[in-house]
Amino acid sequence: MFELNGRMAVVTGAGSGIGAAIARVFAARGAHVAVVDRDEPAARQVTDEIVAAGGPASAHRCDVSQPADVDALVAALAAAHPRIDILVNNAGIAHVGTVETTTPEDLDRLYRVNIVGVYACSRAVVPIMLRQGGGVILNMCSVAALVGIVDRFAYSMTKGAVLTMTRSIAADYVKRGIRCNCICPGRVHTPFVDGYLAKNYPGREQEMMKVLSEYQPIGRMGRPDEIAQLALYLCSDEASFITGVAYPIDGGVTAV
């Protein structure tokens, strides 16, 4: 079950965190993974780890906020591979702030990466999937699209858009062989969290880690590999009857 043998998977934001975990899991299940990140050395490091473990992968630099970058990447991938079976729109950035403290520049920066990035990648890949008879798109959303979270005004706005883009793509292509779903994680312990704590709470990292962990009723943050396993399921044939769905994986945040 959950094999991806011979499939081509494109994972954006795969240089670290959740994206890297998804790339590793997909490769371990037989997919050739295009490890995409705007940080090329990080993408190469993940690619080298996959190849060393016996999996097929290639590293690609791309800034998903720039549609021209995305179009060039997808054209190169299409020239090198007969198919693109899976697209995981994982690249994204965060922002802490209310509507009062969010500047127009903040809003535009998040819009370009979190919304335009999903649009540009999906727009470039969908025609290829249609020509080959189908494919799977998985968007990384957030629990912030489902519930109100303090100090996440701009971030929540962008993830709400990811949720509705997911449902729109699913509806538009349900009769044409393309499935589209999204995952809505709660807090996940990634390098971003460690950097956020070090920057904003120097000397209080452990204290604030406890606070962030206890936000989830289950008492801890998620792990990237846990998100990756759900991504594997949703992109596998075992999920062939699932489209247009937002899957919370949040330690109980949306349940209580």
φ, ψ of residue 115 to 5 degrees: the values are -105, -55
The structure tokens listed for 22 are 């998804």
φ, ψ of residue 102 to 5 degrees: the values are -90, 120
Cα 48 from Cα 37, distance rounded (Å): 14
Cα 18 from Cα 12, distance rounded (Å): 10
Cα 68 from Cα 25, distance rounded (Å): 29
Cα 182 from Cα 161, distance rounded (Å): 11
Sheet containing 8-12, strands listed edge to edge, beginning at the edge strand earlier in sequence: 57-61, 32-37, 8-12, 86-89, 135-140, 178-185, 246-249
- Catalytic annotation present for 155: yes
Find residue 86's DSSP bridge partners.
9, 136
Cα 59 from Cα 82, distance rounded (Å): 18
Cα 195 from Cα 161, distance rounded (Å): 26
Q: Out of 111, 155, 173, 233, which one is annotated catalytic?
A: 155
- Rounded to 10°, the helix 17-28/224-235 angle is 50
Supply the residues annotated as catalytic.
155
